Amino acid sequence: MLISLIVPCYNEEQSLPFLYEALCNLRNEQEPLGKSFEFIFVNDGSTDRTKEVIKDMAFLDKDVRYIFFSRNFGKEAAMYAGLEASKGDYVAILDADMQDPPSLIPGMIESLDKDECDIVAARRVTRKGEPKIRSFFARMFYKLINRMVEVEIADGARDFRLMRRIVVDAILQLSERQRFSKGIFAWVGFRTKWVEHVNVERVAGETKWSFWKLFKYAIDGIVAFTTAPLRLATIAGFSSAFAAFIYMVYYFIRAVILKIYNEVPGYPSLLCFILFIGGLILMALGVLGEYIGRTYIETKGRPIYIKSEDENTGKTISQDT
Ligand code: UDP
Ligand code: MG
């Protein structure tokens, strides 16, 4: 039985040796149990020596496969490329920085072998070592998205998971460009078992996620999986129109029936209304824009990534030289 392990790498030259060692240990442990492995490293346009490190590994180890992107396409694209290239009966995605502990994999394999589930997914129960403010916003995000989305997106869920072939094929069918894997994993369904672990700090290098990148990712996630914000704009529009109507009736009664006139006629209320309605219109336009923008990008049907080289083309190059 073949197990594919996919590792998206972006500037990970320092972490890769640690990870590779851990993966080799895993392989040595599992081979007597009848498992064989392929390690698929996806180099997401790194600017350091990641590419060379991967090539060295592939040169010495027949189980190492690789895909190189022509530029940085993001982790989502790297995961998709890896899944597409994978041939294993079980497939796992794990980070290069050891934050997804490879020590969990034997347990995951066992769960699938015993047919307890189709997916074993890892979940962080602590966010120790992460900036407080980032944890706070992350928690807020999961609360918000789970209120709007019909599938459950677990807080602390990582992209680290071992899946059966059938699940991978399902995921590959969702070929949208702005990918939000946490949602896609939940959306395809299947029986999922969660294994919990505490947060591990990365072995080397730095996180590639700035706060701004995470914020954009959060917006992508919400817009990709729900049209609830559109409804929100509609509801806000309706309620403001209703409030304005009540206000109008109130002034009508005051002026026409009770004959009370204001000293400063109409000015403050007018100003408030214009600002209020103007704001609402802008908000609704912004929300619409988000969706139209996405439709525009999807209709272009661009590929999710572009390869500059993989193990097949890479081999021909090394034969030539
Ligand atoms: N990564 C990637 N492309 C990117 C950013 C990150 O392939 O544009 C990879 C990175 O090399 C790592 C994984 O995605 O293997 C997770 O990234 P990181 O550790 O920086 O994120 P964090 O664990 O801090 O959320
Ligand atoms: Mg990490």
Written in H, E and C, the secondary structure of 85-114 is HCCCCEEEECCCCCCCCHHHHHHHHHHHHC
Nearest to 155 by CA among 167, 146, 147: 146
Q: Is 211 in the pocket of ligand 1 (CB under 6 A)?
A: no
- Please work out whether the CB of residue 127 comes within 6 Å of at least one atom of ligand 1: no
Name residues whose C-beta falls within 8 Å of residue 149's C-beta, 6 or more positions apart in sequence.
183, 222, 225, 226, 228
d(CA 13, CA 187): 34
- For 221, counting Cβ atoms within 10 Å of its Cβ (0-12 exposed, 13-18 middle, 19+ buried), the class is buried
Q: Which ligand 1 atom sits closest to the C-alpha of 206? A: 20
pLDDT, residue 308, reads 65
Tell me the pTM: 0.77
- Cβ of 9 closer than 6 Å to ligand 1, yes or no, is yes
Q: How many whole angstroms from 156 Cα to the centroid of ligand 2?
A: 13
Tell me which residue of 9, 36, 12 sits closest to 23, measured CA to CA.
36
- Closest by alpha carbon to 147, among 237, 235, 211, 232? 232
The answer for 139, left when phi > 0, alpha when psi is -120 to 50, beta otherwise, is alpha
Q: Give me the residues paired with residue 91 across strands.
A: 4, 163
**CA nearest ligand 1 atom 18, residue:** 207
Residue 98 Cβ contacting ligand 1 at under 6 Å: no
Residuewise pLDDT in 10s, the chain (321 residues): 999 999 999 998 888 999 999 999 999 998 898 899 999 999 998 998 999 999 999 899 889 999 999 998 888 899 999 999 999 999 999 999 888 888 889 989 998 888 888 899 988 877 777 778 878 888 888 888 888 777 777 777 888 999 999 889 888 888 888 888 888 888 888 888 888 887 777 777 777 777 888 888 888 888 777 777 777 777 777 787 778 778 778 877 877 887 776 666 776 677 677 777 877 787 788 788 778 877 877 776 666 776 667 777 665 544 444
Q: Which of these, 177, 216, 217, 219, lies nearest to 305 by C-alpha position?
A: 177
Please, is 120 exposed, middle or buried when counting C-beta atoms within 10 Å of its C-beta (0-12, 13-18, 19+)?
buried
- Verify whether ligand 1 is closer than 6 Å to residue 207 (CB atom): yes
12 neighbors 50 (Cβ within 8 angstroms): yes
Backbone angles phi and psi of 89, in degrees to 5:
-75, -35
- Whole-number Å distance, alpha carbon 296 to ligand 2 midpoint, is 32
Distance between CA atoms of 321 and 313, rounded to whole angstroms?
A: 13
| Structure confidence at residue 196 (pLDDT) | 83
Nearest atom (ligand 1) to Cα of 95: 15
Q: How far is the CA of 213 from the centre of ligand 2 (A)?
A: 14
Containing H/E element for 66? strand 64-69
Kindly report the CATH class assigned to 2-208+304-310.
alpha beta
Q: What is the DSSP letter of 257?
A: I
pLDDT of residue 318: 45
Residues 304, 309: Cα–Cα separation, whole Å: 15
pLDDT at 127: 72
DSSP code, position 301: T
| pLDDT at res. 43 | 93
Give the Cα separation of 6 and 38 in Å (integer). Answer: 8
> Is the CB of residue 143 less than 8 Å from the CB of residue 216?
no
How far, in Å, CA of 89 to CA of 168, rounded? Answer: 10
Element (H, E) at 213: helix 211-225
**What are the strands of the beta sheet with 90-93, ordered from one edge?**
192-197, 119-124, 157-164, 90-93, 2-9, 36-43, 64-69, 307-310
What is the Å distance from ligand 1's center to 280 Cα?
37
Distance from Cα 201 to the centre of ligand 2, integer Å: 7
What is the model's pLDDT at position 321?
40
pLDDT at 182: 82
